[in-house]
Amino acid sequence: MREFACNATFGIGDDESIVRSVFTQAEQHPARVLFSRPVGTGWQDVTAAGFAELVTGVAKGLIAEGVAPGDRVILLAATRFEWTLLDFAIWAAGAVTVPIYDSSSSDQVHWIASDSAAVLAVVETGDHAALFDRTDLPEALHKIVTIDDGAVDALVAAGVGVPEADLTARLDGVRADAPASLVYTSGTTGRPKGCVLTHRNFLAEVRGILTSSIGRTAAYPGRRILTFLPLAHVLARAVSLAAFEAGATQAHWSDFKTITGQFARFAPHTILGVPRVFEKVRDAAAKQAETGGAAKARIFAFAERTAIRYSQAQDGPRSVPVGLKLQHTLCDRLVYAKLRAALGGSCEVTISGGGALADRIGHFFRGLGVPIYEGYGLTETTAAHCVNMPGAQRIGTVGRPLGGNSVRIAEDGEIELGGGVVFGGYWNNEAATADALYDGWLRTGDLGRLDEDGYLRITGRKKDLLITAGGKNVAPGPMEDRLRSHTLVSQAVVVGDGRPFIGALLTVDPETFDDWKSAHGKAADATIAHLRADADLLSELQLAVEDANSGVSHAESIKKFVVLERDLTEESGELTPTLKVKRHVVAERFADEIDGLYVR
């Protein structure tokens, strides 16, 4: 069994909590700008002292509303300043935050509310409040307040009469091992389970980040960080908490469609995203080049190849060849500088998590001067457990463990994780806890391998492992990641369990489909359903399949594929809020298409 541990350590006192930083910063650095709130076309600063005052007011309001120490409080909203404010206020009141994605269905909301026995819910909009409008509302949930209807001001007003001593007592009662949050898993394999994350777990995560080179580079006073991933997801929340602890300035934005405009508006030094965000940035640049004519398209293609070669050369035993350096300098003037400007012009660190980043994208961004540091973790590990970082990056891996953490590979290839970030168990689910934890180690369900320097490479998902009729074990994840890196492919699901060969379901990206139709002379009003069997489309997708097959053996390669009539979506229940495929749903919903792959 191969094992690797990070030797960096840090202490966490039993009386510490993640919320204490709010008041420490207000006392020591009252004028420090911790947040910038979007106002019109500009930004409104929120200082450490101002934020502490808001947290105090809202926490007192929660106490006035009857929230007791240890009570669960639902927080259902998109990423915005108030999300972070309420999270800290819930902790200051001694309670436990239960985040729910703003895209969740009524049934999902009801399950989490019932399972957590939450006593109060803070939601963003009237539509969110309507999700609770059902006859079987959990008995414990006695009040729902809405941010857009003035919930924050109402809570502050309600708490005016709460003595300062009451809030101090609540704060003093919050210990490191007290639950801070019930974070429900995304439910890719069934009903979501509530991960009990303690203040100690969050402190271990934050300090692991901040004692690493990526934390020291990305987060310190004066650095700007744009938070746009859902804060209900533990990755965005953990990085946001680390930025707060370090005294960096954060801005929030939740509309993915307009996020590139906010890059230019806020000029962040650090960007946190999922692989699809970086793929979209690359695809948008390629599209813009193509619309500029054949010459610009050729220049971009050359610049992309040069960036990838330049990045790959940095990993070699020799220095970058002089000719490649000259080509890179030329491409920097023609292309790379414009791409960096599109990210705001100040971005120095980008972090990717929540899924596998294609090697090609990693090399492309590093080659243009904005390295993407890919990491790995689960809700059960309070987000990042391993991460690439400045001075210790190996593209194609998810890096090495953060301080205080360890990773090992079991005999069957399963990745097991240990350290202060690992949770203590699932809420009200002893059986699931027993399956996940063994002797202090978390069984992740993921497959991987460690190289001689301790870098972890993900090779597949244990539960997703396909076994063909011929007995060949196939990990679908790497092929799916490679397929999705193609401009035309939105989602890819590799199938073949118990079948004679490996097949794939592909969906076409609606955002690139119109451009493809125009370039290939197809009717403008033709839909994906109309063209899913079009020879030109199938030919181009076949190239994507051949590229994916180039990384596996013949027995593992995709022999046939089918194009679905529509994309997979979160709204239809086929994707989680973090855009992971729910395989069991897809397999059931598209059973006929899968069967059709194996009809002779």
The pLDDT of residue 471: 67
Q: Which tokens hold the place of 387?
A: 């991460």
Q: What is the pLDDT of residues 46-65, one digit of tens each?
A: 999 999 999 999 999 999 99
Calculate mean pLDDT across residues 467-482. 78
556: confidence class by pLDDT, cuts 50, 70, 90: confident
Q: Which tokens hold the place of 580?
A: 């992971």
- Residue type for position 478: P
375: confidence class by pLDDT, cuts 50, 70, 90: very high
**15 vs 215, higher pLDDT:** 15
- DSSP labels, 377-406: EEGGGTEEEEE-BTTB--BTB--EEPTTEE
Q: What is the CATH number of the domain that holds 560?
A: 3.30.300.30
Residue 371 lies in a domain: no
Cβ neighbours of residue 315 closer than 8 Å, sequence gap 6 or more: 394, 395
- Smallest CA-to-CA distance from 223 within 263, 280, 268 is with 268
- Domain with 493, as residue range(s), is 466-597
Q: Which tokens hold the place of 296?
A: 């610009």
DSSP state letter for 225: E
The mean pLDDT of the chain is: 90
Q: What is the pLDDT of residues 351-368, one digit of tens each?
A: 988 777 889 999 999 999
- Using DSSP's 3-state secondary structure scheme, residue 435 falls into helix
The pLDDT of residue 486: 87
The pLDDT of residue 385: 92
The pLDDT of residue 476: 86
Q: Is the pLDDT of residue 188 over 60?
A: no
- Smallest CA-to-CA distance from 34 within 12, 55, 10 is with 55
The total number of structural domains that make up the chain: 1
Q: Is the pLDDT of residue 189 over 60?
A: no
Calculate mean pLDDT across residues 157-174. 96
- Using DSSP's 3-state secondary structure scheme, residue 108 falls into helix
Q: Which tokens hold the place of 41?
A: 């076309």
Calculate mean pLDDT across residues 193-220. 92
The pLDDT of residue 190: 58
The pLDDT of residue 156: 97
DSSP state letter for 332: I
Read off the pTM: 0.83
CA distance 163 to 382: 34
Residue 472 lies in a domain: yes
- Using DSSP's 3-state secondary structure scheme, residue 527 falls into coil
Q: What is the pLDDT of residues 324-340, one digit of tens each?
A: 999 999 999 999 999 99
Give kind and range of the element (H or E) at residue 45. Answer: strand 42-47
322: confidence class by pLDDT, cuts 50, 70, 90: very high
CA distance 414 to 428: 26
Residue 174 lies in a domain: no
Q: Which tokens hold the place of 527?
A: 């839909």
Residue 28: burial class (beta carbons within 10 Å; 0-12, 13-18, 19+): exposed
Residue 246 lies in a domain: no
Q: Is the pLDDT of residue 187 over 60?
A: no
Cβ neighbours of residue 466 closer than 8 Å, sequence gap 6 or more: 473, 474, 475, 476, 494, 495, 496, 497, 502
Residue 403 lies in a domain: no
Distances (CA, A) of 372 to 128, 216, 594: 34, 16, 36
Q: Is the pLDDT of residue 223 over 60?
A: yes
The pLDDT of residue 108: 84
Calculate mean pLDDT across residues 505-511. 90
Q: What is the pLDDT of residues 94-132, one digit of tens each?
A: 999 999 988 888 888 999 999 999 999 999 999 999 998
Specify which of 288-302, 463-477, 578-592 reaches the highest per-range mean pLDDT.
288-302
**449 vs 556, higher pLDDT:** 449
Calculate mean pLDDT across residues 448-472. 83
- Residue type for position 316: G
Instruction: Report the percent of the chain where pLDDT is more than 90.
Output: 59
Residue 588 lies in a domain: yes
**Look-up: residue for tokens 């397999």?**
587
Residue 377 lies in a domain: no
The pLDDT of residue 410: 92
466: confidence class by pLDDT, cuts 50, 70, 90: confident
The pLDDT of residue 468: 79
Residue 540 lies in a domain: yes
